[in-house]
Every structure is written in structure tokens, then in C-alpha cells.
Amino acid sequence: MADISTILIVDDEAKMRNLLSMMLERKGYQIDQATDGKDALKKVSAGTYDLVISDIKMPEMDGKELINRMREQNIVTPVVFITAFATVDSAVDMMRQGAADYVTKPFDESKIHIMVERALNLSRIVNENRELKQALEEKQENRQLIYESNSMGGVVDLVKNVASVDTAVLILGESGTGKEIIARHIHYQSQRSRNRFVPVNCAAISSNLVESELFGYEKGSFTGADSRRRGKFEYATGGTLFLDEIGDMPLDSQGKLLRALQEKKFQRVGGNQEIPVDVRIICATNRNLETMVQQNKFRQDLFYRINVFPISIPPLRQRKEDVVPLAMYLMQKFPFGKSHTISEGACRKLNEYPWPGNVRELANVIERCLILTRETQKITSDTLSFLKPNEPAAGGRVIVKLPPGGVQLNHVQFSLVKQALQAAGNNQTTAAKLLGLSRSKLRVLLKNMDGEQ
Ligand SMILES: Nc1ncnc2c1ncn2[C@@H]1O[C@H](COP(=O)(O)OP(=O)(O)OP(=O)(O)O)[C@@H](O)[C@H]1O
């Protein structure tokens, strides 16, 4: 049931839109309508459609401009044109613009159905091809797991054991230890590897959006829901759903997640169609969920359901053997780091440092060193003089004195975010790094700040 095709019909004539909608709804397709190219572009940018059927002549934005704008925005949904007068020339022109097909008016119903089926088949093949390519690239990108330590060797053994079964896995470890890369390895070694690996950062989604992010929504289910949208569960069908920072998921959303996992089905927000769950769940957290359960901050029943096969990733300071191999590997990953060398003294310094931000912090330090030594291409212990073993390079402890009259925490947050953006020249990725946040979490903060202004 999850793959009912959704078609967007674009025509300025209501009569034509309704006629086509009726014909296609009878065949079981889900239909949405737009009144011209501009309206259609807004909808295809926000929603998920399998096919667009569009008139050519329309006010505001015509069919040709619509398809051009879609391709500019990398929206590859096939478009079929309906035209009153198709000469060979205009047909060639339409196909040149990237149309999947065209039909001439007046048309009979069977012609429309054949054309829609053909275009949807094409759409499926194009999507499959694109996703396979993406998966291959991702697999190559995340292929290498660097380690020398016995403790990481143990983690890799656990990954091998659990990959082939569909068991829920809970990956535990401090921030930046490699929880996501381990989750990807489980996925790519499983029978689900031909399908998607879909990461969701539970900490980056504001609580009122968790449900629609996970389960999707129907058109009109809330203000701004202009079109139907698939959620992460549906998107990951046949594959793996990676729920990162699960400990940060609000309690009421935890209840909804639990229900979907128990009943093995869910409904989109505002919908009544039951959609079966066919995903493998891998969760990760840097929090102590058992303590959170005791404090009633995490649901015990959900904890038992996701904690079937726990894997703990040790912090980098407890596996010093991995530090230098990882540093060498990370150097190679940067395009300008291929011919750099690293001295023994520098390696010693890297080994002495406690790495509170783990592998992510090591990657940041290596990037900084590569920039500092662009000329000499030699990383020495002097290059690492900014690294103080008792003073973390990033994410260190900061003590802020509380003013006697108290302070609004969100004002402090606001000020720090603003300063970080200023220092980073408005580059959100760099600003997020300065604040020890992921870019998505910074975006949520910015959005919330917008709301408060
Ligand atoms: N053993 C490893 N080999 C190669 N790369 C690694 C390894 N461990 C971590 N990395 C890299 O370090 C970075 C941080 O790892 P990852 O995102 O998996 O950590 P995480 O524990 O999920 O972080 P967070 O808790 O902040 O979400 C990534 O770029 C990842 O590819």
C-alpha cells in the first residue's frame, strides 16, 4: 500500500483538472492539483510526486518554463504535456524540453491510462537508478573504518554478527566516536543494503515536527501542508532507519514511535491509511538511557524495544592505538592533505591529548593543521602547540557567572549564536563547529530564534 503513485495535474482550466483527476482517481492514483506553473513549482518543490501532467499554455508560468525550472532545481519527476495542437515540430520541441511524453486533446481515457503507466514505469526506473548510484557512492565513502585497537576490533565483530539479522541495534558512545559510521556499516553488510539508509537526527527536529518528519503528512493536515509528504519511515521502506540522538526525542513522540514499532504500521499525520513498517531500526545516543528511564525522561517500554542488541563504542582516549592511524587517514581525506607528512613528535602529542570530542575533534584538528602547514606540508609538534592536553581544543568547559538578578537562558544562547555566526562570517557550518553543534541543530536554534524575535 505504501507505493500508491501520486500525480500532480497542472491546468488553468478547472474543468480539465477535475476531469483528469476523476479518471485517474478511479484507477487508484492519489491526485493533487495546481492551477498554473507557478503553483505547480511550489508544490513539486515541497512534496513528493511520481508524475506531473501539465497543460502547456497557462498564465503566470507555462508548461515549458515549469519543466525548465524543475530541472534547474534538480527535480527529476517526469512531466507529461497535454496539448491541443501537436504538430511533429511541437512534439519534438516538447520532448527536447525534457517531457516524458505528450497527449493531444481531445483524448480518450484509455490513451491517458496507457501514457500514465508508461511514464510511471519510466519514473520508477530513473529513481531506482539514481538511488543505486547514490548508495554506491555512499558505500564507497563510508567503506573505511579505521582502527587498530582490540576494543574497536570487538565492535567490528559485533557488527558482523548482527548485520545479517533484522534485530534492533542500540549504539552507545560519546559524541563523535563514530556511531553513525558503525550504523552505516551494519546497513551495508545487511540484506537491506540495496535499499536506503535514512538518518534522522532526533535532537535536530523540534518536538511539534517529530511526528510529521517520521510518519509524513497528508495535504491540508496543518497550516503549510500544501501537499502530501512521505515521512522517514516510508522513505526507508526496505532499508534502515537510523534514529540518532534518540535520547533527545520528546516523551510524547517516543510514545508515537513505540506504537509504530509495536503495531508495525502507522498513519501519516492527518491520514487514515495504514502503512506497514518495513524498516530495520538502529538507534544511537550519547546519553545514559537507563538513568533517563529512572528519571522518567525516557520511556522504559521504548528502551526495551530499541535495546535488543547494544553496541558500545569506546571513546578515543581509551583506544590510543587508533589515534595516529585515524589522523593519517583523515589527512588523506582532505584534497590538499595528500602530500603532508607528520612528525613523530606530533604523533606523540596527538596520543597525549584526551580527545573529548573524539574522532570528530581529531578531524577538525587535522584540518586546522593542514591549513597551518600549507607551505611546509609538515605537521610537527609545534604545529600542534594549540593543543593543550588539559584544555580541550574545542568544546571545553566554560564557567559563566550567573548575574545576581538572574538571566534569561535563551538570551545567552541568542547572543552566543550571533557571535559564532559573526566570527564565522555567517558560515553556518563553521559557526556550528564553534558551538560544538551539528549544522542541523544550529538551524533549529536559528529557526526558534526567528520565532522569538
Ligand atoms: N573508525 C573510524 N574510521 C574512519 N572514520 C571515522 C571513524 N570513526 C569516526 N569516523 C569519522 O568521524 C566523524 C564522526 O563520526 P560519526 O558521525 O559517525 O560520530 P557520531 O558518534 O555519530 O557523532 P554524534 O554523536 O555527534 O552524532 C565522521 O566523519 C566519521 O566518518
Burial call 367-405: b when 16+ CB within 10 Å, e when fewer: bbbbeebeeeeebbbebbeebeeeebbebeeeeeeeeee
CA atoms of 200 and 227, how far apart (whole Å): 22
Determine if the peptide bond prior to 78 is cis (ω within 30°). no
* For ligand 1, atom 9: residue with the closest CA: 178
> Higher pLDDT residue, 415 or 222?
415
Taking residues 401-413, report their average pLDDT: 78
Atom of ligand 1 nearest to the CA of 313: 21
Determine if the peptide bond prior to 106 is cis (ω within 30°). yes
* For ligand 1, atom 13: residue with the closest CA: 360
Cα 359 to ligand 1 centre (Å): 6
- CATH 3.40.50.300 in the chain: give the residue spans: 142-312
For the chain, percent of residues with pLDDT exceeding 90? 48
* For ligand 1, atom 15: residue with the closest CA: 178
Amino acid at 185: H
CA atoms of 140 and 206, how far apart (whole Å): 32
By most ligand atoms within 8 Å of CB, the mutation choice from 316, 321, 359, 362 for ligand 1 is: 359
Residues 6+ away with beta carbon under 8 Å from 231: 212, 213, 214, 215, 216, 217, 268
By most ligand atoms within 8 Å of CB, the mutation choice from 143, 187, 360 for ligand 1 is: 360
Taking residues 424-436, report their average pLDDT: 77
> Higher pLDDT residue, 424 or 217?
217
Name the band, by pLDDT with cuts 50, 70 and 90, for residue 452. low
Name the band, by pLDDT with cuts 50, 70 and 90, for residue 134. confident
Cα 317 to ligand 1 centre (Å): 15
Q: How does pLDDT run across 35-72, given as a tens digit for each residue?
A: 999 999 999 887 778 899 999 888 888 888 999 899 88
Q: What per-residue confidence (pLDDT) applies to 61?
A: 87
* For ligand 1, atom 29: residue with the closest CA: 360
Q: What per-residue confidence (pLDDT) applies to 86?
A: 63
CA atoms of 307 and 309, how far apart (whole Å): 6
Taking residues 277-291, report their average pLDDT: 95
* For ligand 1, atom 23: residue with the closest CA: 176
Q: Which CATH superfamily is domain 6-131 in?
A: Response regulator (3.40.50.2300)
Pocket of ligand 1 (CB under 6 A): 144-147, 173, 175-181, 244, 286, 359-360, 363
What fold is seen in the domain 409-452? Arc Repressor Mutant, subunit A (1.10.10)
By most ligand atoms within 8 Å of CB, the mutation choice from 140, 174, 179, 181 for ligand 1 is: 181
- CATH 1.10.10 in the chain: give the residue spans: 409-452
CA atoms of 263 and 304, how far apart (whole Å): 15
SS3 366: helix
Q: DSSP letter at 371?
A: H
* For ligand 1, atom 8: residue with the closest CA: 178
By most ligand atoms within 8 Å of CB, the mutation choice from 142, 180, 287 for ligand 1 is: 180
Q: What per-residue confidence (pLDDT) applies to 398?
A: 56
Q: Walk across the sheet containing 169-172 and list its strands.
A: 197-201, 240-244, 280-285, 169-172, 309-312
Q: What per-residue confidence (pLDDT) applies to 205?
A: 78
Q: What per-residue confidence (pLDDT) applies to 211?
A: 86
CATH pick for 142-312 out of 3.40.50.300, 2.40.50.140, 1.20.1050.10, 3.20.20.140: 3.40.50.300
Residues 6+ away with beta carbon under 8 Å from 1: 273, 274, 275, 276
Range of weakest confidence among 173-177, 183-187, 220-224, 255-259 = 220-224
Q: What per-residue confidence (pLDDT) applies to 140?
A: 66
CATH number of 316-386: 1.10.8.60
**Maximum mean pLDDT: which of 90-99, 176-185, 439-448:** 176-185
Task: Classify residue 14 as left (phi > 0), alpha (psi -120 to 50) or beta.
Answer: alpha
Q: How far is residue 76 from each of residues 52, 127, 232, measured CA to CA in Å? A: 10, 9, 20
375 pLDDT exceeds 70? Answer: yes
Q: What per-residue confidence (pLDDT) applies to 451?
A: 58
Bridge partners of 80, per DSSP, are 53, 101
Cα 180 to ligand 1 centre (Å): 6
Taking residues 316-331, report their average pLDDT: 95
Atom of ligand 1 nearest to the CA of 244: 27
Cα 178 to ligand 1 centre (Å): 3
**ipTM associated with this complex:** 0.97
